[in-house]
Chains A and B, each alone.
Chain A
Amino acid sequence: MSEKTYLQAISDGLRTEMRRDNRVFVLGEDVGVYGGAFKVTLGFQEEFGSWRVIDTPLSETAIVAGATGAAMMGLRPVAEMQFADFVSCAWDHLVTVAAKQRWRAGTPVPIVLRLPSGGGFSGGPFHSQNPESSFAHIPGLKCVCPATPEDAKGLMISAIEDPNPVLFFEHKHLYRRIKGEVPDERYTTPIGKARIHAEGDDVTVITWGAMVYTAEEAAKMVDASVEIVDLRTVMPWDKQAVLDSVRKTSKVLVLHEDTRTGGFGGEIAATIAEEAFEDLDAPVKRVTAPDSPVPFSPVLEKAFIPQPDGVAKALKELISY
């Protein structure tokens, strides 16, 4: 074990697989000489050379479609979008080719797409988004959203091992802020299994990514025992863990940083309503960003991204229901 930042844990997972398996290679904008915009691949080009750590032109289509082709030829590409927001430029190849290739033509596409996502530092409308719901909606794509360094490493390795296209949402606001003990050896964290971040009896918060910590802060502000379920992966998602927790506490808050309408929280709430209606003591609550683009000004951004006091307020309403 050693203490690592969330960012170092991602690098560690990626490096581990690149050392172990020479089919794994990295491609993206400024990932080589510069080490990536956030330095996740710092030193990788020195270690693995410029054909395994490829500085591409500014071409998201070429990156994702190129990764798709290389994967179908037996390699294990890990592609980086400089910011998750730019994945929109590669939507077509991800959604049209990579997602559907196994189902319709029997050719799997084992790619990993790294997506630095999330806000909290005035990145504005194009450097702050959390687009996981859009992709969770696409059959054939997997979406993972680690919150802890340990999971970041384990899920990176699982994502590379996985025979499907996996979107790896790494939250930028966690990169250097969150530290934790990470096993030095190789391990995997299962895709589709939630983690109980905090055990509690009175009310459940279901969340993922940076909002796990917002929920933790909020839990300290209320006089109740709060269970925090860190979904870890949004597609597939751990329905069983969610239902188990709902049955235990009977009150549930779904929390995400993405906007509300069509956000993945709606899917979770609907599932709880369908399968655990009788177990509920209060209507399912959602706390999310409002339906607007992500604003730049710190004042506006604070009003946009769910904050601990807002979550605490919602928890209190649930508790007193």
Chain B
Amino acid sequence: MAIARVAEPSGSLQEVREWGLDREDLLQIYRNMLITRGVEERGHILYRQGKIPGSFYTGRGNEASSVGVAMAMGADDVGTPLHRDMGVHITRGVEPWRIFAQYMGRADGPTHGRDGNVHMADSRLGLLAMVSHLPAMLPVAVGCALAFRIREEQRVAVAWYGEGASARGDTHEGMNFAGVRRLPVVFICDNNQWAYSTPTHLEYAVEHLADRANAYGFDGVVVDGTDVLAVYREAKRAIDKARGGGGPTLIECQTLRMEGHAVHDDAFYVPKELFERWAERDPIERFRTWLRSNADLSDDEEEQIGAYVKKLLNDALQKAEESPQPDPATLLDGVYATPEDLDTPHHK
């Protein structure tokens, strides 16, 4: 029996206004979702052209969830998005050309060629770069929230993790600490039903992962991760609650990973019907339909937005390709921090 609350689907324009989104915000969400998918689709092409070394991951199917949560964050909030959460980087304002530069290991990527994929973040935008080890950043986000609590700042940390990574002890330790101290942190579980080739029934034995929140002394919510407005609403509620001293919330966003684990994986183990069923709930198409019937999205506007995104990405690709290779002579720079390195907004 489920313990977590199951969130209702998104409502009318009127309702959406009450949550604080005006029409321009809605179009911004739509643009961000398109940019998110566009960046990853183009990344795929770059990979096939042999321009991306190593492996390549996308978050196709997770655009609503990542953009929806990021839209609900405040400017001073922080987050630790993962490999399916490109929409968070886009929404926080990372320029697409830097992402392409990162993919290709160039000097202008956020990690300057030191790390690849979505293993990046711009800390000035309130994001902390993920490590591969999952979900190592979850208890780190709890630590960010601890700092906010100690300094009595009205800020919130958002921690992403996959349903697969929910099995690791880090999840338990982070959530328990956050629960005990009622820290201002929101946990977002990207439940895309697979951890590489492992299906959920071999990952956990409860009905919903959000049910576990109860065991840590806070609320759990299950939300349709393809419904961007429902995700936004739940994230906003949880973030506001955390900001107001109400402690953590665990939001489980249900989606399907619409591609293989990474480019090399054809996902032979995922039943075809499952892909077909979830393709009908494509988050971008769903939101487009909603905008047309609830917010009078016109053909003209759609075309304009499409053209804007296309140009943005074309220009970004070109700029990224012009970015130089990193200089091997810099390899040892910054293994250790200097006092000047502490001159960041976070250490002020």
Contacts and interface: CB of A to CB of B under 8 A. Distances in A.
B105 A297 contact: yes
A61 B133 CA distance: 13
A271 interface: no
A57 B202 contact: yes
Given A29-B198, A60-B168, A295-B113, A304 B331 contact: yes
Contacts of B134: 58
Contact of A297 (B162, B164, B169, B325): B325
A58 B203 contact: yes
B113 A291 contact: no
Nearest to B264: A37
B196 A29 contact: yes
Interface in B97-118: 105-106, 111, 113-117
B123 to A, nearest CB: 17
A89 B131 CA distance: 13
B197 interface: yes
Contacts, number: 121
B197 A34 contact: yes
Interface string A30-70: 10011001000000000000000001111111100000000
Contacts of B132: 83, 85-86, 124-127
A30 B262 CA distance: 14
Contacts of B169: 59, 61
A302 interface: yes
B342 interface: no
A122 interface: yes
A122 B269 CA distance: 27
B197 A33 contact: yes
A125 B132 CA distance: 9
A80 to B, nearest CB: 13
A273 to B, nearest CB: 27
Contact of B332 (A58, A290, A298): A290
Nearest to B195: A58
Q: Name the interface size band of chain A.
A: 35 or more
A125 B335 CA distance: 13
Contacts of B54: 121-124, 127, 296
Interface string A281-305: 0000000001111011111101110
A126 B162 CA distance: 18
B167 interface: yes
B133 A295 contact: no
A316 B111 CA distance: 36
A88 interface: yes
B331 A57 contact: no
B131 A126 contact: yes
Given A33-B197, A299-B325, A86 B133 contact: yes
A299 B326 contact: yes
Interface of A: 29-30, 33-34, 37, 55-62, 82-83, 85-86, 88-89, 121-127, 290-293, 295-300, 302-304
8 contacts: A57-B164, A59-B168, A61-B168, A85-B132, A121-B53, A297-B326, A300-B331, A303-B328
